[in-house]
Amino acid sequence: MRLDHFAAEGSTVRVWGDTDVVLISVPLPGVLRLRLAPEARAGTYTFPKLPPKPSFALRPDAAAPEAVQVREAGAELVIQGGGLTCLLNRETGAWMVLDGDPQTGRVLAQAALWSGEVPNARDALDAEVFDLQRTRLTLDAPHGSAYLGFGERVGPIDKRGMHLTFWNTDCFPHHTDTDPLYVSVPFTTVVDTAGLAHGVFVDEPWRMEADVARRRPDALTFASAGPELDVYVLAGPRPADVLRRYADLTGYAPLPPLWALGAAQSRWGYKTADELRAIVAGYRERDLPLDALYVDIDYMDAYKVWTVDRHRFPDMKALVGEMLEQGVHLVPIVDPGVKAEPGYDVYDEALAGDHLVRTARGDVLVGEVWPDPAVFPDFTRPEVVAWWGSRHKLFAELGISGQWNDMNEPACFSLKQPRVTEGKTLPYDARHGNRPHIEVHNAYANGMSEASRAGYTQFSPHLRPWILTRAGYAGIQRHATVWTGDNTATWSHLALSLPMIGGLGLSGIPYAAADVAGFAGDTTGELMARWYQVAVGYPFLRNHAASGTADQEPWRFGEPFLNAIRTALHLRMQLLPHLYTLAHEATRSALPVMRPLVLHHAADPDALREDTQYLLGEGLLVAPVLRAAHTRRLVYLPAGSEWAEVFNLAEFGPVHAGGTYTVADAPLTVLPLYLKAGHAVPYTDAAPHTTAAQWPRLSWLAFAGADGFVGQLYEDAGSGPADAPSRLTRIVGEREGQSLTIRRESRGDLQGFEQRETLHLIGLKSVQSVQGAASHNYADGLLRLSLPAAWTEIRIEEGESGE
């Protein structure tokens, strides 16, 4: 590939030859973009100019790009900006991106090859012979590097050795080797053997595949059905830096309401208002916390979206209010398929407004989903997003602020105008305005969920929306969070949920979760109990089951399982101050609530690929039991600091050195938790449901390391607009010789403090005196402090003569 010409045009460098074009720019510091357009002459009338390229992934409020410089050095062009360098060979087209300057910079990504095919004139006309791999990019995959993320995937946390397809698919049920699934995010964080990270994001919603060092162990290959490959290389050096840069590019997730983090119950098969009332009563009479009920498709009249069946739900508004009084939020499901029925206002409006997906021949495309026949709003067009958003008025007026968007791959069971499809969805050549379905399929759910968020924000500005989606493309985190779809009630799916949610977190989606106890198939009491324990740290916690499966509300299997589930749910409620703080942190840092160990221990090879455990923040490690009839498990404690057992958040247990394996004893009611030296974690008392994200009773578990410790707490009303009064509190313990000084620093405009605050502290060899606490007690290495209201400083002297 020869690229003879180049020109600097504003903040972009254009390089081109007889047939190929590449545009290089630096949208953010540490992020370099190469828009690769091989064989562009054949497909682009304006060659060597490229038409503007809209993106579903990029945040709309992007900053101005960085300035770039370009110079020639032999056959190479040297392009620099934002701290990065791109070297592009004009004789071969090979390029590399370095962090820093050409002499000393670290090589991030290196491409020997990128190529395209001259589009066949038939392609555009006959999608059944559409070449599914029109453009290709091959990047070096150095031996030993780990490949994280790629959206929603089965398999281990490191995707090396997998061949992945980006094509959102409704698969009921999915299995531990199913690919693709519902969510496509062509973004990976690469971690080398020294623990240094960089990112690669290919912003193409087109059908794509990625071969992650499977066919060739030394190559990561992207192949797209589209004419271009829009590549972003993101600098590290830590995985957390890559994730933050990805969110700077594609957006941060908005803060969820606190109630969405509480316990939720769902079932496909709850059919009437009275059934829902009975479920709430079942929770309340057994002292089981409950914050939300998800309401599946049977509330609708004949599966007509934006309707409510009047017989089964005679007064939805009253029901929503009645539930809210009991601390329970109703979250209805919404499907995109609109019943094609003249006289049904949603259909009539969609038709009149030209909002629908069409066939290649230009007719409205008609398929079958739950409504039959069904038509599909074209959420890839802004005017359709606006129209769908306006439809949320109905639910907002009922007092609803949470919504569950399903089937938005989009799923389509059959077509009335049959064409070849890939999976149960729309045909490749269906039309979205003038774009073929194969180009925008993966982004269909983004527009649908954007509409939901915008709708609730418009009609209920005093509430904070909670939007769940099954499908999505890069950037979906700005609009909604993801649940992992139709999993199965098996132990292998329980274990799979950790790398799956972890992988979504590493793909910029910080609040993803899996259905507790499995959607398909009958669960068992033991699997339920262990699944609830695993889910204590899921970003949200929803029990959901398929129609026809055995009942799986927490009490259905009796004792000892009910007690174990109650213990896990109470643990969840206790941890909400910490989880909500992490949720808030995600809105600033993009670090997920449930963190794979690699996020904080990338240079520790045992931690890097450990995906049977997870971290809640940097300081709390969760090592749940994932196997039937096991009451012990092996736990890896990452190197670099000590870890103290805090099983079930109860008493401190033994302290273990990092970089070691230990065996956790975990009978049915026990969740093994470990607190890292140097960290403090806030928690509260269990409650039947959440209220405000302010904690009349607050406790801290703290482990003073050699440098003391830090802990954080974010508080606000728990709902309402994100700019309402809030407070971020840091408690910092600093050592100086024999003394430890603990300070509390709060920032923000939220008034009022905890009414009862205690600190449980380990890590001190002895205690001679304590100043500033209301009372204290030191025994067996554990110091308990009762803290006065509005405290700001505690001083502890270590020394031999304890009191």
Enumerate residues 6+ apart whose C-beta is below 8 A from 630. Answer: none
Q: Order the strands of the 643-645 sheet from edge to edge.
A: 594-595, 614-616, 620-622, 673-676, 643-645, 655-656
CB of 367 to ligand MIG, least distance (A): 13
Specify whether 486 is catalytic: yes
Q: Cβ atoms within 10 A of the Cβ of 561, count?
A: 22
Least distance to ligand MIG, CB of residue 319, Å: 19
Nearer to ligand MIG, 171 or 495 (CB): 171
CB of 413 to ligand MIG, least distance (A): 8
The H or E element spanning position 231 is strand 229-234
Minimum separation from the CB atom of position 304 to ligand MIG (A): 14
486 or 526: CB nearest ligand MIG: 486
Q: Is 152 in the site for ligand MIG (CB under 6 A)?
A: no
- Under the binding rule (CB under 6 A), the answer on residue 300 touching ligand MIG is no
Q: How far is the CB of 184 from ligand MIG (least distance, A)?
A: 17
Nearer to ligand MIG, 268 or 636 (CB): 268
Tokens read off for 510: 């910080």
Cβ proximity to ligand MIG: between 316 and 514 the closer is: 514
Determine, following the binding rule CB under 6 A, whether residue 297 of this chain makes contact with ligand MIG. Answer: yes
Q: How far is the CB of 483 from ligand MIG (least distance, A)?
A: 8
The reply on whether position 366 binds ligand MIG by CB under 6 A is no
| 371 belongs to the binding site for ligand MIG (CB under 6 A) | no
Size of the site for ligand MIG (CB under 6 A): 11
**CB-nearest residue to ligand MIG:** 268
Within positions 402 to 431, which residues make up the interface with ligand MIG, using CB under 6 A? 406-407
Number of CB atoms found within 10 A of residue 765's CB: 9
Q: Minimum distance between the CB of residue 417 and ligand MIG, rounded to whole angstroms? A: 22
Q: Which is nearer to ligand MIG, 542 or 689 (CB)?
A: 542
Q: Is 298 in the site for ligand MIG (CB under 6 A)?
A: no
DSSP 97-148: EEES-TTTPEEEEEEEEEEE-PPPHHHHH-GGG--S--EEEEEE--TT-EEE
Q: Is the Cβ of residue 457 or residue 552 nearer to ligand MIG in the bound state?
A: 552
Full strand arrangement of the beta sheet holding 329-334: 481-482, 466-469, 402-405, 329-334, 292-295, 263-267, 541-543
Among this protein's residues, is 716 annotated catalytic?
no
- Say which DSSP state 415 is in: E
CB of 107 to ligand MIG, least distance (A): 42
State which residue, 327 or 485, has the beta carbon closest to ligand MIG.
485
Considering Cα of 421, then 423, then 424, then 429, what sign does the dihedral take?
Answer: negative
Phi, psi (degrees; rounded to nearest 5) at 550: -60, 145
- Window 540-559: residues binding ligand MIG (CB under 6 A): 544
Which parts of 27-46 interact with ligand MIG (CB under 6 A)?
Answer: none
**How many CB atoms lie under 10 A from the CB of residue 630?**
12
Contact between 471 and ligand MIG by CB under 6 A: the answer reads no
CA dist list (Å): 439 to 204, 442, 537, 785: 8, 8, 36, 60
The single residue of 486, 585, 642, 645 carrying the catalytic annotation is 486
Supply 523's token pair. 């669960």
Nearest residue (CB) to ligand MIG, 332 versus 537: 332
Chain centroid to CA 727: 25
Binding residue for ligand MIG, selected from 391, 470, 570, 601, defined by CB under 6 A = 470
Binding flag, residue 21, ligand MIG (CB under 6 A): no
Q: Does 296 bind ligand MIG (CB under 6 A)?
A: yes
By the 8 A CB rule, do 69 and 259 touch?
Answer: no
How many other β-carbons are positioned within 10 Å of the β-carbon of residue 205?
27
Could you say whether residue 450 binds ligand MIG (CB under 6 A)?
no
Catalytic one of 209, 248, 291, 409: 409
Helix (H) or strand (E) run with residue 570 in it: helix 561-589
Q: Answer yes or no: 723 catalytic.
A: no
Window 481-500: residues binding ligand MIG (CB under 6 A): 485-486
User: What is the CB-side half-sphere exposure of residue 228 using CA atoms within 13 A?
Assistant: 25
Amino acid at 635: V
333 scored as a contact of ligand MIG (CB under 6 A):
yes
Strands (E), 483-576: 541-543
Active site residues: 406, 409, 486
Q: Which residues bind ligand MIG (CB under 6 A)?
A: 268, 296-297, 333, 406-407, 470, 485-486, 519, 544
